[in-house]
Amino acid sequence: METLALPDTVGLIIGAILTLCVFSYLLGDNALYRVAEHLFVAVAVGYVTVLAFHQVLIGKLLRPMAEAARAPDGPDVFRLVLLLIPLVLGLLLMFKSSRRPGPLSWLGNLTIAYLLGVGAAVAIGGGLLGTLLPQVGAAADITHYAQAYSGGLALVSGLIGLVGTAGVLLHFYFGRRQEGRLSGLRASLVQTWGGLGWWFILIAFGAILATTFLARLSQLGGRIQFLLDAARNVFGGGG
């Protein structure tokens, strides 16, 4: 029969108590749940702060600046200037920390504008290269379905993927009403095919919801098993 050490036993008891405090939210919002919630936020903020200090501020800024200043062939001015840019942007952001905007608070807008610009560029590039183009390629790759399936099932799967992808794109089509002989046919086609795409969106959201539910259910089973193991180790002497 294995006996847990005192620090492990204390950690196990604290983890079990906090798990029960979180589960108490099933009975409604209460003080025990708020204590666990605030403790989780505080620990997360502390962990991120220590991680950012050691791995970002020290590891990516101050230590490289010290290495560039003590280079064997003399200070690396170019590298120092490059490292001063994020340092200055970070210091400018401190002007936005006050609740009441001061006369120099507009300097922090430079850092925010830079962050928003880089974030938007990364998001657009990631959405285009990581989602849109691969989706178009997957919808047009008939050989993929031929290799995964055989016979008529491959053809049906390819048609479903192609029709669904085009229908979802047509569902988000916005444009002014056009005139002409085929305008009515075109509008009916967009409306019908886009309506079919709406059902594909619902199916996709349903699948995502089911996957999320199963993942959370697995986590719930894990926490219940943790509570049972904790009770057996603490009150059963580890047997």
Cα 102 off chain centre by: 34
Whether 1 has a pLDDT exceeding 60, the answer reads no
* Residue 172 in domain: yes
User: What was the pLDDT predicted at 153?
Assistant: 78
User: What was the pLDDT predicted at 53?
Assistant: 92
Q: What is the mean pLDDT of residues 95-121?
A: 84
* Residue 91 in domain: no
Torsion angles phi and psi, residue 104, rounded to 5: -110, 10
User: What tokens appear for 77 in the block?
Assistant: 């001015």
pLDDT tens by residue, 29-80: 899 999 999 999 999 999 999 999 999 999 998 899 888 888 888 888 888 8
* Residue 167 in domain: yes
- Please tell me the total count of domains within the chain: 1
* Residue 153 in domain: yes
Q: What is the mean pLDDT of residues 3-15?
A: 79
* Residue 133 in domain: yes
* Residue 176 in domain: yes
User: What was the pLDDT predicted at 213?
Assistant: 94
More confident site: 132 or 47: 47
Q: pLDDT category, 97, cuts 50, 70, 90?
A: confident
Half-sphere exposure of 125 (CA within 13 A, CB side): 6
Domain membership of residue 231 as a residue range: 125-239
* Residue 160 in domain: yes
- Mean model confidence pLDDT for the chain: 84
* Residue 189 in domain: yes
pLDDT tens by residue, 197-224: 899 999 999 999 999 999 999 998 998 9
